[in-house]
């Protein structure tokens, strides 16, 4: 079931629901959407079968959500503010929070800002993806700046083609990138709830998942098959989520 909810500024954002039971919010990765990350490859179905209601927003500038070209729609940490708006809109007091890549970055910063899920999953994320985000950001800015002109063999080609496949608005995506900054590793001490750092065995896009798990107060690292792009297609993704969230 799909519906909309108001973002922090009233922007029309898409929310996809599946199942009934304990609420779990799932935040997708950069340039992706809820369907591709969570529904298409069966991850949400595994959670539903385990007794969860999957609450899957399309992040601002992604999927069916608003993709404004107005810079005022993109203040610092806008995705954190949109997540806070979703929790308030749904009246959630007890929920779990799962992110992948950009969704993990958003989830971690939301917890630092005061969000309190019962359990937290940071998928496709290492310490560098939080503390060294500006380096990764520069790569994506270059892809957006050269969008439509990048040729095969260029390291940005795969990202460009993914943007095209997803129908991403490059202007809105560029504005969204400008809302993100590095996360001070010292602030990660605020992430005290049980946390799973979940990465593919060939996924080093956001740095070391082991290092991230080590600096978090109450975390463990789990490995599934795949690269950053392919790990979300693996049944092991859903299996690890179910195991952690039902423990």
Query: pLDDT, tens digit, for every residue of 42-90?
Result: 999 999 999 999 999 999 999 999 999 999 999 999 999 999 999 999 9
| Residue 1 pLDDT exceeds 90 | no
Rg (the chain; Cα; Å): 17
pLDDT score for 2 = 85
pLDDT score for 133 = 86
Which CATH class for the 2-134+182-245 domain? alpha beta
Neighbours of 160 (CB within 10 A): 20
The domain segmentation of the chain, as residue ranges, is: 2-134+182-245
pLDDT score for 105 = 97
25 three-state secondary structure: strand
pLDDT band at residue 226 under the 50/70/90 scheme = very high
For strands 12-18 and 52-57, give the pairing: antiparallel
Output the pTM of the full model. Answer: 0.96
Mean pLDDT throughout 31-49? 97
Give percent of the chain above pLDDT 70.
100
Query: pLDDT, tens digit, for every residue of 109-134?
Result: 999 999 999 999 999 999 999 999 88
What is the Cα–Cα distance from 82 to 142, expressed in whole angstroms? 26
What is the Cα–Cα distance from 238 to 107, expressed in whole angstroms? 18
| Residue 136 pLDDT exceeds 90 | no
Task: Answer yes or no: are the C-beta atoms of 143 and 157 closer than 8 Å.
Answer: no
pLDDT band at residue 135 under the 50/70/90 scheme = confident
């Amino acid at each position: 079931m799909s519906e909309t909810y108001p973002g922090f500024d009233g922007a029309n954002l898409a929310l996809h629901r599946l199942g009934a039971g304990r609420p779990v919010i799932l935040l997708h990765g950069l340039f992706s959407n809820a369907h591709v990350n969570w529904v298409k490859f069966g991850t949400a179905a595994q959670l539903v079968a385990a007794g969860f209601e999957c609450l899957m927003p399309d992040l601002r500038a992604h999927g069916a959500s608003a993709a404004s070209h107005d810079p005022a729609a993109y203040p610092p940490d806008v995705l954190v503010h949109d997540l806070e708006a979703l929790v308030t809109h749904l009246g959630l007091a007890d929920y779990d929070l799962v992110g992948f890549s950009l969704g993990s970055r958003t989830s971690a910063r939301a917890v630092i800002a005061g969000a309190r899920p019962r359990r937290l999953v940071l998928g496709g994320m290492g310490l560098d993806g939080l503390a060294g985000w500006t380096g990764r950001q520069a790569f994506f800015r270059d892809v957006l700046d050269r969008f439509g002109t990048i040729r095969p063999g260029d390291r940005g080609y795969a990202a460009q083609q993914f943007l095209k496949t997803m129908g991403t608005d490059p202007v809105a995506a560029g504005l969204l990138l400008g809302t993100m900054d590095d996360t001070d590793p010292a602030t990660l001490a605020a992430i005290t709830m049980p946390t799973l750092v979940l990465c593919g065995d060939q996924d080093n896009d956001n740095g070391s998942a082991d290092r991230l798990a080590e600096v978090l107060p109450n975390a463990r690292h789990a490995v599934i098959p795949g690269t950053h792009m392919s790990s979300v297609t693996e049944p092991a993704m859903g299996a690890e989520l179910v195991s952690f969230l039902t423990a």
